[in-house]
Amino acid sequence: METITNANFDFPGVKNVYHGKVREVYTIKNDLLVMVVSDRISAFDVVLPKGIPFKGQVLNQIASEFLDATKDIVPNWKISTPDPMVTIGHYCDPFPVEMIVRGYLTGSSWRAYKKGARDICGVPIPEGMREHQAFESPILTPTTKAEQGEHDENISREEILRQGLVSEEDYLKLEKYSLELFKRGSEIAEKHGLILVDTKYEFGKKDGQIYLIDEIHTPDSSRYFYKEGYQARFDKGEAQRQLSKEFVREWLMENGFQGEAGQTLPEISDEKANEISQRYIELYEKITGRKFEKANNENLKSRIENNVKNAMASLLK
C-alpha cells in the first residue's frame, strides 16, 4: 500500500517548510499553515525507514476531532481538514514552552520520583505514592520547547516567568486552558473505557489572541490506560494496559534496538508494517468510538496536492 514518507509538496504561496519527525508543516504567506501528517513513525528519537499505511490519517483525524470537541474552551488553529492526512490552520507565533498535564504518577515522573524527587517543575509531590497512582488533582509540569534534535527540559512556572519566556498574564491563561482541556479529554476518554493519563498541549498567539496549536490527545502525544482492570492491576502493583505506540518500542527492543550508538535498526517487513498499521487503526477506533474508514491511498501525493490546492483557492482569495 502506498504511504507518504518523504514528499515535497507543491502548494501555492509557500514561504517556509518545517520537516519534523512525523509532520511536514508548510507556512503559506505567513498567515496560514498546511500540516501534512506523514506515515513516518519514530521511536527512541529515530525515524524508522518504512512508512506505516494509514498512520498519518489516523493521527490527523484524531487530532481534528479533539480540536473540534474543545474549541469552546480555547480557540484553536484549525480552519479545515481538506484531506484525511492534512489540516489547514492559522499561522501563530508559538510560545516557547509546552504544557504537560499529568493525572497520574507514571513514566518520567515516576522515574524521577523513584530516584527521590519530591518536586516536579516546582510542583510538590506527596510522600508514599506508587507507580500509576492518580494525583489528587492533575498537575502541570511544563517543558521548554527544544530546537530540532534537542530534548525538551523541565521548567517551573517561576522560572518561565523569571526568564520572560511567557508573560504572567498569558501564562495564567495557558494553565487554565490546559487543565480545562485535560478535563474535557478525560471525560471523553472515560466514555470510551479509557483513562487519559498525561498529555501535552502547545499554544501560540495571533493578533493578540491565544490559540491551541498542533495535535491534541493523539496516541503519539498522550498516554492512555484502559479503565477496565486499572484498579486491580494497581492494587497488585502490576503494569497497566496502555493505549499508545509503546508496542513499537517493545518490538524494537526485542530486536536489539534502543536508539543507542552502534545499534542497527531491524528491517520492517511489509507484514510488520501492516501489523503496526492495524494497531494504529485499533487505537483510532478505541479513542473515537467509531469504525475507521480507510481513505483511497492510490496516487497519494497527487490526492493531497489536489485537495490542498482546492481548499487554498478559496482561503487565499
Q: Looking at residue 8, what is its pLDDT?
A: 86
* pLDDT higher than 60, residue 149: no
Residue 20: which pLDDT band, with cuts at 50, 70 and 90? confident
* pLDDT higher than 80, residue 109: yes
Greater confidence (221 vs 176) lies with: 176
What domains are there in the chain, each with its CATH number? Answer: 14-91+248-315 (3.30.200.20), 94-243 (3.30.470.20)
Greater confidence (148 vs 33) lies with: 33
Percent of the chain whose pLDDT exceeds 90: 79
Averaged pLDDT for residues 100-113 = 94
Q: pTM for the full model? A: 0.90
Q: Looking at residue 301, what is its pLDDT?
A: 93
Q: Looking at residue 152, what is its pLDDT?
A: 74
Lowest-confidence segment of 78-82, 137-141, 214-218, 312-316 by average pLDDT:
312-316
Q: What secondary structure does DSSP assign to the chain, as a single string?
A: ----SS-----TTEEEEEE-SSEEEEEETTTEEEEEE-S--EETTEE-SS--TTHHHHHHHHHHHHHHHHTTTS-BSEEEEEETTEEEEE--EE-SEEEEEEEEE-THHHHHHHTT--EETTEE--TT--TTEEEEEEEE--EE-PPTTS---B--HHHHHHHTSS-HHHHHHHHHHHHHHHHHHHHHHHHTTEEEEEEEEEEEEETTEEEEES--S-TTTEEEEESTTHHHHHHHTPPPPEESTHHHHHHHHHTT-SS-TT--PPP--HHHHHHHHHHHHHHHHHHHSS-------TTHHHHHHHHHHHHHHHHT-
* pLDDT higher than 60, residue 148: no
Lowest-confidence segment of 19-28, 67-76, 243-252 by average pLDDT:
243-252
* pLDDT higher than 90, residue 216: yes
* pLDDT higher than 80, residue 223: yes
Q: pLDDT tens for residues 150-203?
A: 567 899 999 999 999 999 999 999 999 999 999 999 999 999 999 999 999 999
Residue 147: which pLDDT band, with cuts at 50, 70 and 90? low
Q: pLDDT tens for residues 253-284?
A: 899 998 888 999 998 999 999 999 998 999 99
Q: Looking at residue 146, what is its pLDDT?
A: 63
Q: Looking at residue 46, what is its pLDDT?
A: 86
